[in-house]
Structure formats: C-alpha cells, structure tokens
Structure 1
Amino acid sequence: MEIAQLFEAVEKVAASLRFPLDGEDAVRMITWSAADTIPSIDHASISLTTKTGEIQTLAPTDAIAARADELQYELHQGPCLDAAIEEPIVQVNDLRDDPRWPVFGPKAADLGLRAQVAFQFRADPNVRGALNLYANQPRSIGQDDRLLGLMFANLTAVALGWTRHATSPAIALDPREEIGRAVGIVMDRYQVDPERAFAFLVQVSQSENIKLREVAAKLVADTAPEPN
C-alpha cells in the first residue's frame, strides 16, 4: 500500500472516532481483531462475572474459544477464571502439562489449544472480567504478544465502561517499538487518548486488510524527519 492510500484510509477511520461504537459491536471487533492481529493468537473471547457469581462468555471468535471458556466454568479451573476472579494477568505456555490446571489443560489441548493468556479488567470489587487469548502452538506467546494483548484488554475495558486492573498498556508498551511510536503519532495528530489511538490503528488494519505492524511501520516512516 502506498503512503497516499494509507492516509486516505487513515482519514476515513479518523472520522469514525467521533462516534462511539455499540458495546456489542465493539467487543466483537476487539476479539476478532486480537485473533487476527496478534501473531501467536488463534482464538479469543471475553469472560464476564457478575455480583451473583455467575460468569458468561462474550464475543467468542469461534466455537473453540466458546468451548474452552465453558470448560473452565464447568471445571472451576483455568486461566480465564484465575484472571477474571483474582490475577491481573495469567499465562500458560503449554496447556497439556501445566500443573496449575490438571483437568482443564489436557481437555483444552484435546480441542487443539496449547497456550493461553488472560488479562483482567473490572468494574468494582465484585464485577470482573477477562480477555482470553488462545494459541494453537505451545510456548508461542511472547512479550510482544503480551503487550498487544494488554492493549486489546484495555480496549475491552473502555468499550464496556470498565477500568483495567493491570498496568496501562500505554505505559507497558516499549516506546521503541513501531506500534508504540505509531500510537503516539495518532494521539498527536488526532488529539485522542492511547486507547482510541490504538483502536484507530486496528480499524485501519482491518479496513485495508493489512497487518497492524505494516500500518504502524508506514506511519512511522512517513513522519520520520528528512535526512540532512
């Protein structure tokens, strides 16, 4: 994609930032974008708890994600439950043999899932949720994947009107990374906060069918100062 075409798409997406997304559409966009954008991730979903202790799944990308969530609810064990109820971030590198979830892990592996990371967000002390990201390959979720996952978790919290419990992804993202620089460029150009700037980049990536990293790289390259 040429720079001129990219910025035409950018301007088109920028206009949409003035209008809030419907909550259901927003969380669906988040889970699908997470699975499509984060290199190691193949499936995604959102788990929500209530004050009565019930838990449900929102916007699963497919039947595998939905079933993996259901297994955790049925067995009362698993990364999404630990994240939704207790821990800010829970990661497992190989579901088949992780001793923390001796029943869920092998059952998840039978579905074809081998790694998982879940990020907590919450509305109050009793109402919490988690963004669940699943990978088909063991030991495939790296630091860059976690940073992107944190941003999608923050977007989920914003879309639901909640707050993230863990470190802000705007702080966690290494500013030397191209996506981090691209977020800063969008924030400055369109006067939006980090979460909406990242959502903006995701929308451009989706609408133009190009990788998020490519969108970021082109924005960074276009705004780099001319050599003397």
Structure 2
Amino acid sequence: MVTELNIVTVMNTVAETLTYPIKLDEALEQITQGAADTVPGIDHASITLTTRHGQIETLAPTDQVAVLLDELQYDLREGPCLDAALRDPWVQVDDLAADDRWPGYGARAADEFGIRSQLAFQFRAEPHARGALNLYANKAHAIDMDTRQVGAMFARLAAIALGWSRHDETLGHALGSREQIGQAVGIVMERYQLDPDRAFSFLARTSQTANVKLHDVAAALIAETVTRAR
C-alpha cells in the first residue's frame, strides 16, 4: 500500500540522485524500464533509432523479448516500431494476431512471443534521424487512453535524453489530459525547482524506486502536500 510517508522517503532518495551526473545509456534504461513498470497495460519496452544512412538499432531494451521483437521487425522490414520510427507519429495495435497491416510480423509476434498489443511513438532529429519508443503488451486490447497518455510522456523523456524533439505529442499536452499527474508534476516543479520534463522524470523514477504505479505516486504526493499545508 502506498503511504504518504513511503512516498516522501522515496522522493528524498530520488531527489539526491538529481545532482548526480548520469550517462545517456543509463538515462535511456531508466526511461524504458520506467515505461514497462508504470505505463498501464505495458510489459516490455525498447527504443528504436534510425540514421540517414539507413542504419537501425535497438537501445535500452527492458528484456530479451523486446530485443527479439525489434529485430524481427527489422528483419521483415515491417511492424509498428518501424512505421513509427520512419513515418507515423504514433502507431497502435490492439490485437497483433488479427491485424492485417503487418502479415509477416503480427502472427509471429503473437504466436512465438505471446505479444498481442503494441504501441509506438515517434521522435526525430531533423532532417534525417528518426526514433521510436516501443511499448509491448502481452494481452490483446491492453492499450487505452491512459496507456497512450502516459506512454507519450515517456516518449518525450526519451527524446529529451537524446536531445531530439517529439514529432507530435508534447509533454504539456499529455499532462493537461492527466489532471492528477499534472498536479503532481506541478508540485515537484515548485518543490525541487525543476522544469516540467525533469519533474515528470522525477515522478517516473520515484514510481520505479517505490515499485508502485505512477498514478498512485501522484495521488500520494498530492495527499502529502495537502497534509503539509494544513
């Protein structure tokens, strides 16, 4: 159970890490693991990067399943992560076994790996480099509005860590549609003097450190702030 005291303790621990230098690969690993741990319905995550020379690679996979799924899409030259990285702002698949957009990939992802839903968000560096945050779910129809909105926040964090910009969604827009998380970000911004992106990163890291859902962290932080104000 999440308590105000638990959240405060974890937040203090996480706040100490804000002053530590952090390497890019470590930052990306925190982002993908945080996404797998806290985005509703998601079980695996990775980041796909492409270059102007046609090279493509996976960064910060949460596990071997994510690696194999990415590589399958690269080998087949089809799949949601490629569509997002190369063309579309975001791609959602509710049931890979039944979706005919990627006939080679969808059936194999479902049959060989047990992956039924997938969500990918594009980010890019003009004019040539593209990337995508890849989110995989074991269950069909696991993606809802919460999944998309919280997933968009993690895509924004990945873009910022890489020094890129998100193609479509912005953190401010995503936060605006998630009132409770938006309130929590505002509290963190004021308390620790952080910008919106680092404030959300702080909440995501707190969620991962405390091993609780992001929504629960936000609710506990709001409750703790109200208690302090009395």
Normalised by the shorter chain, which TM-score bucket? Answer: over 0.9
Q: Distance in 1 between matches of 2:199 and 2:46?
A: 22
Corresponding residue for residue 152 of structure 1: 154
Q: Which amino acid aligns with 2:164?
A: W
How far is the alpha carbon of 1:176 from its aligned partner? 5.4
How far is the alpha carbon of 1:79 from its aligned partner? 0.6
Corresponding residue for residue 164 of structure 2: 162
Q: Distance in 1 between matches of 2:173 and 2:166?
A: 13
More helix by percentage: 2
Corresponding residue for residue 9 of structure 2: 8
How far is the alpha carbon of 1:116 from its aligned partner? 0.4
How far is the alpha carbon of 1:171 from its aligned partner? 1.4
Pairs within 5 Å for 1:23-172: 23-110=24-111, 111-172=113-174
Q: Which amino acid aligns with 1:139?
A: H
Contact 1:151 1:170 in 2 (8 A): no
What is the TM-score normalised by the length of structure 1?
A: 0.93
Task: Tell me: CA distance 1:86–1:176, structure 2 relative to 1, closer, same or farther (3 Å).
Answer: closer
The CA RMSD measured in Å over matched residues stands at: 1.9
Secondary structure at the aligned position of 1:173 is classed as: helix
Kindly provide the CA deviation profile for residues 67-124 of structure 1, in whole angstroms up to 9, marking residues without a partner as x: 1111111111111001001111111111112121111110111110001000011122
Give ranges in structure 2 of 5+ residues lacking alignment.
none
Q: Identity rate of aligned residues, in percent?
A: 54
Q: Distance in 2 between matches of 1:210 and 1:105?
A: 31
Q: Which moved more, 1:11-20 or 1:196-205?
A: 11-20
Q: Distance in 1 between matches of 2:82 and 2:178?
A: 33
Q: Which moved more, 1:79-88 or 1:170-179?
A: 170-179
Q: Distance in 2 between matches of 1:20 and 1:181?
A: 27
Q: Distance in 2 between matches of 1:103 and 1:176?
A: 36
Give ranges in structure 1 of 5+ residues lacking alignment.
none
Stretches of 4+ moved more than 6 A in 1? Answer: 225-228
Q: Which amino acid aligns with 1:29?
A: Q
Contact 1:44 1:131 in 2 (8 A): yes
When the two structures are aligned, how many residues end up with a matched partner?
A: 228
Q: Which amino acid aligns with 1:59?
A: A
Q: Distance in 1 between matches of 2:37 and 2:13?
A: 21
Q: Distance in 2 between matches of 1:176 and 1:116?
A: 21
Contact 1:17 1:196 in 2 (8 A): no
Task: Tell me: CA distance 1:5–1:62, structure 2 relative to 1, closer, same or farther (3 Å).
Answer: closer
